[in-house]
A and B are shown apart, each in its own frame.
Chain A
Amino acid sequence: MYDAVVVGAGISGLTNALVLASFGKRVAVVERAPQAGALLRGFDRWGVHFDTGFHYAGGMAAGEGVQRFFSFLGIADQLNIIPMRQNCFDRIMTTDYRINLELPVGAESFVAALVAEFPAEREAVTRFVADLLQVADNLPYLNMYTQAIDASVFAVVEDVSLADYLFQLTSNQRLRQVLSLHCVLHGVPAARVPFRFHASVIGPYIRSASIIEGGGQALIAAMEKRLHDCGVDLLCSQQVIRFHLSAADRIDGVELADGQMLECKVVVCAAHPGCVIDCLPTLMLRPVYRKRLQGLHETSSACLLFARCRRDVELLSGSNLYVLDVDSPHKQRFPFDNNMCYLTAANGRNNNGFMAIVPAYYDNFTPWNDSLTGLRPAAYYAEKQNVTQLLLQRLEKAVPQLDNQIDRCELATPLTLRDYMYSSDGALYGAQRQVDDYPLQATTRVEGLYLSGQALVAPGVMGAMVSAFNSCGVILGRDRLIGELKKCN
């Protein structure tokens, strides 16, 4: 008999499990993939380790919120946090070579760098950064004095899109494009992303941008060790298929795909919230709520290019690169969609390889929808080859430092993402809120069932962890949890 079963061993599920365990609860985590933290582990190819779902984050510097989470969870001493390049954690280049902007950490420096590039836009830039930080500095649980998330769902929905916000802010179209590039980090286009949501994902990077030595793998290893020490059971290669209810319609267990039953009082669903529909009898959810879960908006999909380089690419050392496509005729733009591409070093230590994210439409790959990894038809591989070539040409031209440097590469398509991450439509970050959507709450109408995970607060390691603290705060009592959190430095 468990006090709680957590569905999904992503960063959010693991955080939920550790928080509940630290309050003496008996917890099991069930994960359908063969290992916990599948998204964060990365993989090795051609002698290079490629990080996949975790490259950099804000909030991890000493005294900041995520660092406090690590202390609370008992893993801080196992993680070596390394700041990114302070004078350029993100670089923005345009394909016409006109802009080569180095974005530094720190509000004043960040503003100054943008003003140097857009001298007439001081007022707009200053306000933009102030507005981002106003949100980012007050995120619940990261800032322990901020009220709970559920306090006013209305306030959150009363929000403009990033595109509308920027339209009001400045008439400089290039500046608007530059300030929208970070949308790749949450996967919701500028026209659809609520400004406040954008700010909560992007704002923290202005305060600090760091990596973890050893990447997502090191984070997961530290959490697994801690789970073990806390007596949490981790069941991998097991899928939760049903939530079991008592005669009084309270959660009293979960059923796994192999027929096993786990008895429990509480279920925390830290997987895609849509899975709740499949796991409960239809009548347990009112039509309006069921429709909300069914109608969640998936984030953008992407093609990911993993490349090995002949030499270290100094440009990517401690720094990410955003390439804005401005000059090319339509056909030669980065394939499919969006006029941008994001590059990050293969891992925190080696720059002899990189991962590029190019937002792409799942629809471009629907002809091969029914095929599975490794068994797709020739036409799919031909299309993959085609995209790879286009992308390489564009990258080598746009980024002179990469010209003739790439010696091996492999493309992951939206179908690859779908099959490896179990995400519908190959969505990069699962479901996320768009303007006019009401945020989902951790509490559900089913007694004992709580939602958590990136879809509840925001994507990213930080967002997924905040979401876990928020859900645990609802289960255990917010003041009690904050009280314990305050004891950590």
Chain B
Amino acid sequence: MTEQEIIETINAALVEEFELDAADMKPELSIYQDLGLDSLDTVDMVIVLEGAFKFKIREEAEIKQIRTLGDIHKFVQRKLNAEA
């Protein structure tokens, strides 16, 4: 998967599962303030990413650091690189 494909996969999954607006999927936006997720949604976000990439996420500390959509992109990229 190219970097662009990864980003598209993440965005598409989040748009569908959280009913977000595709036009809002800008990497600099905060998933909490701008996209309206809250801490309750963190588990659901992890489940969506696990479903989209068929990996298991156990990096609790890293997940808790995530603030922006771009952070999610970077997290997934790092994880896919590490697994490759």
Residue pair A441, B40 in contact (C-beta under 8 Å) = yes
Shortest Cβ gap from B57 to chain A (Å): 8
Alpha-carbon distance A152/B40, docked complex (angstroms) = 12
Interface: B46 (CB within 8 A) = yes
Alpha-carbon distance A288/B48, docked complex (angstroms) = 7
Interface of A is mostly: helix
The segment from A120-128, A153-161, A246-254 found at the interface with B is A153-161
Complex contacts, A287 vs chain B, CB 8 Å: 16-19
Complex contacts, A153 vs chain B, CB 8 Å: 43
Residue pair B47, A158 in contact (C-beta under 8 Å) = no
Complex contacts, B38 vs chain A, CB 8 Å: 445
Alpha-carbon distance A344/B38, docked complex (angstroms) = 47
Residue pair B44, A286 in contact (C-beta under 8 Å) = yes
Shortest Cβ gap from A262 to chain B (Å): 26
Complex contacts, B83 vs chain A, CB 8 Å: none
Interface of B is mostly: helix
Quick one: which of A410-460 are within 8 Å of B by CB? Answer: 436, 438, 441, 443-445
Q: How large is the interface on B (under 10, 10 to 19, 20 to 34, 35 or more residues)?
A: 10 to 19
Alpha-carbon distance A3/B3, docked complex (angstroms) = 51
Given contacts A152-B60, A292-B47, A436-B56, contact A445 B18 (CB under 8 A): no
Complex contacts, B47 vs chain A, CB 8 Å: 288, 292, 438
Interface: A97 (CB within 8 A) = no
Quick one: which of A30-79 are within 8 Å of B by CB? Answer: none
Q: How large is the interface on A (under 10, 10 to 19, 20 to 34, 35 or more residues)?
A: 10 to 19
Quick one: which of A134-160 are within 8 Å of B by CB? Answer: 152-155, 157-158
Complex contacts, B46 vs chain A, CB 8 Å: 438
Alpha-carbon distance A289/B60, docked complex (angstroms) = 20
Quick one: which of B14-31 are within 8 Å of A by CB? Answer: 16-19
- Apart from the given pairs A286-B19, A292-B47, A438-B43, 8 other A-B contacts in the complex at a CB distance below 8 Å: A154-B58, A154-B63, A158-B58, A283-B19, A286-B17, A287-B17, A288-B48, A445-B40
Interface set of B (CB-CB < 8 Å, partner A)? 16-19, 38, 40-41, 43-44, 46-48, 56, 58, 60, 63
Interface set of A (CB-CB < 8 Å, partner B)? 152-155, 157-158, 283, 286-289, 291-292, 436, 438, 441, 443-445
A-B contact pairs, 29 of them (CB 8 A): A152-B60, A154-B58, A154-B60, A154-B63, A155-B60, A158-B58, A286-B18, A286-B19, A286-B41, A287-B17, A287-B18, A287-B19, A288-B17, A288-B18, A288-B44, A288-B47, A291-B17, A292-B47, A436-B56, A438-B43, A438-B46, A438-B47, A441-B40, A441-B43, A443-B40, A444-B40, A445-B38, A445-B40, A445-B41
